[in-house]
Structure 1
Amino acid sequence: MPEPAYSASSANDVVTAGTGADDEPLPEHRPEQLTVDTRADGDRLVVEVRGELCLDVDHELKELLSRALEDSVSGLDLDLSGVDFCDCSGLNALLRVRRQALSDGKTITVRAAGRMVERLLELTGTQPLFTSDAEQDGGPDLGAEVVQLRRAMRTRPTIDLARGVLMATFGLSPDQAWEVLVHSSQNTNTKLHRLAEHLVAAVQGEPPPEAVQREVAAAVARVGSGP
C-alpha cells in the first residue's frame, strides 16, 4: 500500500461568474480532494494522484509533485488512473513539473491514466512528453514542451469560457461540459481550442459550422442521458 506522503485539500469555495444576458452565475462545482501518495521503485518514485486536476488545485498539484521530485533520485512515474477530471490548468501543472525535472536531469512519465487524462494528452499532443521514450532525448523534448506549454496557456481561457457557455446554455456540470468539448473535438476532427472558439463566437451570433453544431447537440444529449 502506498504511503500518503503528500496530500492537500482543494479550495473550499469556487468563484462563479455570470455568462448570460441576465448575468446569472454558473452552477457551483466543488472539486474532489486532491491526494498524492508516493512509494519508492528503485531509484524512482511512483506517485499516485487522485481527485480532480483543475484550476482550483493546479498550484497545489505543482507544489506536491515538486516536493516529490526533489525526494527522487532519477524522477517520477505518475499513476493518474485515480484522476476523475483534468483540464488544461491541470495539464499546465504537469508540464511545469516536467520542465523542472528536465532542468534537474530527471524525468517524469505517466505510468497509468484514466480515459479523460489520456484523451487530454492525446488532443493536446503532449502524450509523447510523458513516455519512457522521451527520457532518451531530453533536449528536443524540452523545446517541444515549452511550445506546448505556451500554447496551452494561451488557449486555456477560451476553452474555459466555452465550458461556461455549455454549462449556462444546457445546464451541464463542469465535467459534462468538458466531456462535450472532448467528444465534439474528436468526432469532428477539430482542435480543442478551435472548437472552443466556435462556441464562444456563437454567443455573439456567429453560428458554428453545421458539423460542429450537430456533434455538440449529440454530445450534449449523450452526457445528459448518463448517470
Structure 2
Amino acid sequence: MPEPAHSAQRLTTLDARPPCLATIEAVVAGERTDVTCRGEFDIGAQALQSELYAVLDRSATGVDLDLGGVGFCDCGGLNLLLDLRREALAQGKTVTVQAYSPAVGRLLDLTGARELFVTEDSGNSDAPAAEHAPVPDERSQAVEVDQELRLEVDQLRRAMRTRPTIDVARGIVMATFGLSAEDAWTVLVTASQNTNTKLHHLAQDLVGAVHGAQVPEELRQQMAVAVAKVRDAGPESQSPLPRPAV
C-alpha cells in the first residue's frame, strides 16, 4: 500500500523556513522501493530529507525515483538527491532515477550529474537476466566505487560553489523582467543552452553586469529571445505570486 504523501508546508508568520512545495509517495516493490515525487524541488524540499532517509532505511537494496511530476528543480533539489544517493552508498544500496521531467533532465545535464542516477533495467533481483549477469572481480568493484565517489564529491562541490551566483542571477532576471521564479529559471536555462555556456558562467556574467561589467552581445540577444518566449507562452505559465529565489 502507498505510504502517506508528505504534505506541503506553507510559511507562517513565525516560520522563516522556505515552504516545502513537494510531496513523495513510496511503494515497496520487492527488495526495492518505488518513490514518486511531485511538486517543486528547491531548498524547501530539504524538509523531505528525513522522510526519504526513512524510506531508504526500510528498503533492502535501495530506491527507484520517479521525478516525472517534478515541475521545478534547482540546486537545492539537486543537493537533496545527491544527499540521498550518498546515504544509500554508505548503506551499500543504490538510488536510481526511472523517470524525470524536462526541468529535472535539464538540471542533471547542466551539472553533469545524470550519470550518478543511471537507470537500472534489472533493479528487481528476481529478474531472469540478473541470474546470469557477470559478476566483476573485487578489484574492479573497488575501482568503480572509488571513481564513483570521487565524481559525486566533485558534483557536490560544484553545486555548492555555484548555487549562490545562480540564485542571485535568477533574482536579477525576476526583478529586471518581472518574471516568476520558475520563468526566470527557464530563461536562464534556455539562454545557457542557446549560447552553449555553462549555467554558472552565464550567471557570473549577469551578476557582473550589476557591477558595471559588459554582458556579451550573444548573451544579451539570447536572454531577450528567452524572455520573449516565456511571455508569449501566456499568463497561465507564470505564477501569480512569484516565489523568491533561493
Task: State the TM-score, normalized to the length of structure 2.
Answer: 0.80
Structure (1 or 2) with the larger CA radius of gyration: 2
Q: Corresponding residue for 2:74?
A: 87
Q: 4+ runs of 1 displaced by more than 4 Å? A: none
- State which drifts further: 167-176 or 208-217: 208-217
* Unmatched 5+ stretches in structure 1: 15-29
Query: Deviation digits for residues 52-81 of structure 1, max 9, x if unmatched?
Result: 011122x21322211111111100100000
* Unmatched 5+ stretches in structure 2: 124-140, 235-246
Q: Corresponding residue for 2:243?
A: none
2:6 counterpart SS class: strand
Q: Corresponding residue for 2:25?
A: 37
Q: CA deviation at 1:13?
A: 5.4
Question: Aligned match of 1:96 in 80, 83, 96?
Answer: 83
Within 2, Cα distance between the matches of 1:10 and 1:56? 9
Identity %: 49
Residue 2 (structure 2) pairs with residue 3 (structure 1)? yes
**Number of matched pairs:** 209
Within 2, Cα distance between the matches of 1:8 and 1:198? 38
Contact in 1 for aligned 2:170/2:181 (Cα 8 Å): yes
One-letter amino acid of the counterpart of residue 181, structure 1: L
1:175 counterpart SS class: helix
Contact in 2 for aligned 1:6/1:64 (Cα 8 Å): no
Q: Corresponding residue for 1:56?
A: 44
Contact in 1 for aligned 2:21/2:44 (Cα 8 Å): no
Matches within 5 A, 1:58-207: 59-132=46-119, 137-207=144-214
Q: CA deviation at 1:221?
A: 0.6
Task: State the TM-score, normalized to the length of structure 1.
Answer: 0.87
Q: Corresponding residue for 1:21?
A: none
Query: Deviation digits for residues 26-75 of structure 1, max 9, x if unmatched?
Result: xxxx9673211011222100100111011122x21322211111111100
Contact in 1 for aligned 2:20/2:44 (Cα 8 Å): no
Contact in 1 for aligned 2:42/2:76 (Cα 8 Å): yes
Within 2, Cα distance between the matches of 1:112 and 1:132? 8
